[in-house]
Amino acid sequence: MNVLSQFTDDGHWPGLKRWLDLPGVYPAGRLDRDSEGLLLLTNDGALQARITDPAHKWPKTYLVQVEGTPTDEQLQKLEQGVTLKDGPTLPAQITRIDPPDLWLRDPPVRVRKTVPDAWLRIILREGRNRQVRRMTAHVDLPTLRLVRIAIGPVGLDDLAPGEWRDIDPKIATV
């Protein structure tokens, strides 16, 4: 969190190069600096394109803490797709979940005793800029915490923040 999913700093926020010295490797998909979780890095341009190109529709799975108590109507709107300023979103898979067992967030999400929150599992097949946050805000459920746990068949599994592992490049056949 508070790290750009690019290797260069932008003058305000640090890039990945401060932690990883991997010339020729690039992110396949991005997370905004307020989000956490899985980021795939590759030196294979064809694989990067397959992962990020909306035509391939790789599912991206997120755990999302929202402010408020979601109604069935709000969840149905998210599932059907909502119309944002840049057009309608594709339908999403939405599931209410119990609070997940995650690492501590720095800084922590502000707890407001008078405002409930809830957790959702959201699966998208597109990846617009800040899409999950914009979708939940559109139905009056602002996102408090956003953690990507999977891209296609690759899951975060038991990786802790800052850890990494090699994956089989055959995933590109998915």
Of all residues in the chain, the percent with pLDDT exceeding 90 is: 44
Higher-pLDDT residue of 173, 103: 103
Residue pLDDT, tens place only, 119-141: 999 999 988 889 999 999 999 99
Q: Which domains, from first to last, does the chain contain?
A: 16-156 (3.30.70.1560)
pLDDT the model gives residue 5: 61
- Interval 67-85 mean pLDDT: 97
Residue pLDDT, tens place only, 94-123: 999 999 999 988 888 888 888 899 999 999
**What crossing angle do the helices spanning 72-80 and 131-138 adopt, rounded to 10°?**
140
Higher-pLDDT residue of 89, 3: 89
In whole numbers, what is the pLDDT of the chain averaged over residues? Answer: 86
Active-site amino acid positions:
32
Residue pLDDT, tens place only, 30-61: 788 788 999 888 888 888 888 777 777 789 99
pLDDT the model gives residue 135: 97
Give pTM, 2 decimals: 0.88
